[in-house]
Amino acid sequence: MKDIPALGMGTFRLKGETAYQAVTDALDVGFRHIDTAQIYDNESEVGSALADFELERDEFFLTTKVWNSHLNRTGFIPSVKESLEKLSVDYVDLLLIHWPSPEDNAPMDEYLGELLKAKQQGLTKHIGVSNFTIAQLKDALRILPAGELYVNQVEVQPYLQNHDLRAFCASNDIKVTGYNPFYVGEVLSDPEIVRIADKHGVSPANVAISWQLQNGLITIPASTNKDHLKDNFNSRGLQLDAEDMIAIGKLDRGDRKIDPDFAPQWD
């Protein structure tokens, strides 16, 4: 099974032709890891872009996520098959539970059992979760067979560095995908990030992405601008020094951007 590329392209909030063109541009730039979700309502456009680009299936890594309304035995597997149809693939590389069931309305044993079943049926190569707390990860590790929980996708950015959660994941061999790396753009105008970018002669986006990568995170920045996509992809060439990493570490203020009313009780 192919491992997840550390740098991917996120598609949150991208719709219709915009989503199609952004994914096409990302593939043209060199991205081979695309992240989507049932609730994004763009799986068809993502699938069309991948199909039209005519890559071999093993040349890209594709993630989607199961929405809250399908966290049950009746709806889970049919929803995954519908996603595959929209994405025009036989399987995804990574299938995630998008959010833990709000207020535990659905038993975790049930929906994680369905997640494992999706893998056993060949609908996905890897399985994981998103927006799970440490307590919820402990439950998931109890429910799933050892080594099955591949990823926890959570918000991580300079203003919310999630140290405790990341440490727990590291100690349990769970990869972390940090979403919203730019804090919806605000990180890119932060004076300290701008200072470090100027020091290296790069963009603030390069700094934000490199900080994630050097922390061992997977990151999935989104953009609809091809030049920005190219810049994001080129972030892999930047090496921040220890002074830079310490300076960005000091920006942590526990400031969470993605916090819907059905979110869990965060760590």
| Active-site residue set | 40
Distance of CA 48 to the CA centre of its chain: 20
Contact 21, 224 (CB under 8 A): yes
What angle, 0 to 180 degrees and rounded to 10, lies between the N-to-C axes of helices 226-233 and 16-29? 40
The C-alpha atoms of residue 95 and residue 130 are separated, in whole angstroms, by 10
The position carrying tokens 């105008």 is: 189
228 is in an annotated binding site: no
Find all residues with CB under 8 Å of 249, minimum gap 6, and list them. Answer: 161
Rounded to 10°, the helix 43-53/16-29 angle is 40
3-state secondary structure of 264: coil
Exposed e or buried b for every residue in 196-212, given b needs 16+ CB within 10 A?
Answer: bbeeeebbbbbbbbbbb
Which residue numbers belong to the known binding site for substrate?
98
